[in-house]
Amino acid sequence: MLFDKSRHKPLTESHWDQNVVQSEISSIINDIQHSLSADACWPTHPQDAQSYPRSGPKWSAYAGAAGTIHALQLLDGYGYNVIDLSGALENVYQSFLKNPDVCVEPGLQIGELGILMPAILKKLDDAQLARRVLRCMEDTIALPLYEITSGQSGMMHAALALYRKTGENCWKEVFVKGATSLMDNWLLDTKTGEWLWQSQVFGPKRHYYGACHGVVGNANILLQGADLLPDNYPELIIKRTLITLNIAAKKAGNFTNWPLCTKPKIDKLLVQWCHGAAGIVTAMARTPKIDSCTSNQLDQLLVQTAELVWQAGPLNKGSNICHGTAGNGYAFLYMYRRTGQAVWLERARKFAMHAIEQCQKARAHYGQGRFTLWTGDAGLAIYLVHCLNPQHAAIPGLDLF
């Protein structure tokens, strides 16, 4: 087996219903807005509380107030009636510095940058805020991380977004510095032939493959900003990544998945955004199409990987993006955007209906919503919007700011 059946559920029998989807988006927005506390945060969900060493409010982009405020910004941009809480971000930032979710760090998902990004998106001409953001970005470059959560590639997503929005050279320059750090530390394993980064995120030294901490997550952002890098980079990056994926792949019939990491070798086969097949698809489906044998091989691999996501089905862990049904559903939306084939959109919408049921059941079970971007209902709401409008599909807080 290429996945652990105990981690997945049978898919709902409910059919796609646009009215149900719109109703759930409104319900999530209402729940978020009515549950806001006076100090600009939300009740920590019991499932998120298990992941953090300290109790109390969470502030980060990943599972805290900043991510929820950013989600509301995005929903406002799609025309939903939401309260603009951007003015609360300074309080969120100061609260984080005094009592951080984990520790005070500069990174995107659990650090300062993820809190400052939704603030600067509302004030692109704020020079003092820009200096704060740039300082956080610079502080990630020398870290031995090479991944999304706290490292260079997460910072580069933010820098590239700001450069595309403003055209200001400071964002381009810090993106290029991050890319240089990634390329300088992307090393060939002479024993296996793989091209790997060694990441020390969360302490242990590991060589991951997936979208959050691994090879494809880094390759993705390098390719998205390839126009800012030397001309030979796109084909080089695609070639190295595909070589590595092919060497490490676990295959059965027309399905493909990857282990968590190598060195140390951890053969756990997950099918999530953060680790495994779903994230491999979302990271690599954005790869520019190049008329080459390598590009054709990538397309074949993406189909086999996305088929495994469908075969595995929705996740037990909930409806969220990072390690839940919405994150896996994004694999189908990205395949739809890459291929135009209706089957992928149909599958994404099927997962949406399942995720709605999961969200409703969890809300009833815990007596509260899960008010977060990456692990909860705020991210689900944006996924549902993207199932209604697949031409806009992009993972929020990473591919979409």
Q: What is the reported pLDDT for 330?
A: 98
- Assess whether pLDDT exceeds 70 at residue 149: yes
pLDDT band at 309 (very low <50, low <70, confident <90, very high): very high
- Assess whether pLDDT exceeds 90 at residue 1: no
Cβ burial, residue 263 (10 Å; 0-12/13-18/19+): middle
Q: What is the reported pLDDT for 291?
A: 66
Q: What is the reported pLDDT for 174?
A: 98
Sorted by where each begins, the domain ranges of the chain are 5-392
Q: What is the reported pLDDT for 52?
A: 83
Q: What is the reported pLDDT for 367?
A: 97
Tens digits of residue pLDDT in 16-34:
999 999 999 999 999 999 9
Cβ burial, residue 15 (10 Å; 0-12/13-18/19+): exposed
Residue 323, annotated as binding a ligand:
yes
Q: What is the mean pLDDT of residues 234-262?
A: 95
Q: What is the reported pLDDT for 296?
A: 82
Residue 207, annotated as binding a ligand:
no
Give me the architecture of the 5-392 domain, per CATH.
Alpha/alpha barrel (1.50)
- Assess whether pLDDT exceeds 80 at residue 383: yes
Average pLDDT, the chain: 96
- Assess whether pLDDT exceeds 80 at residue 245: yes
- Assess whether pLDDT exceeds 80 at residue 290: no
Report the Cα 139 to chain-centroid distance in Å. Answer: 21
Buried-state track 131-155, b at ≥16 Cβ within 10 A, e below 16: ebbbebbebbbebebbbbbbbbbbb
Q: What is the mean pLDDT of residues 133-140?
A: 98
pLDDT band at 204 (very low <50, low <70, confident <90, very high): confident
Q: What is the mean pLDDT of residues 137-161?
A: 97
Question: 189-196: long-range contacts (C-beta < 8 A, 24 or more apart)?
Answer: 189/263, 192/247, 192/262, 193/243, 193/247, 194/243, 194/244, 194/247, 194/248, 194/262, 195/240, 195/241, 195/243, 195/244, 196/244, 196/262, 196/263
- Assess whether pLDDT exceeds 90 at residue 248: yes
Residue 322, annotated as binding a ligand:
yes
- Assess whether pLDDT exceeds 80 at residue 194: yes
Tens digits of residue pLDDT in 275-286:
999 999 999 999
pLDDT band at 382 (very low <50, low <70, confident <90, very high): very high
- Assess whether pLDDT exceeds 90 at residue 15: yes
Residue spans of beta strands (DSSP E) within 212-321: 250-252, 255-257, 261-262
Q: What's the rounded Cα separation, in Å, for the pair 209 and 196?
A: 8
- Assess whether pLDDT exceeds 70 at residue 199: yes
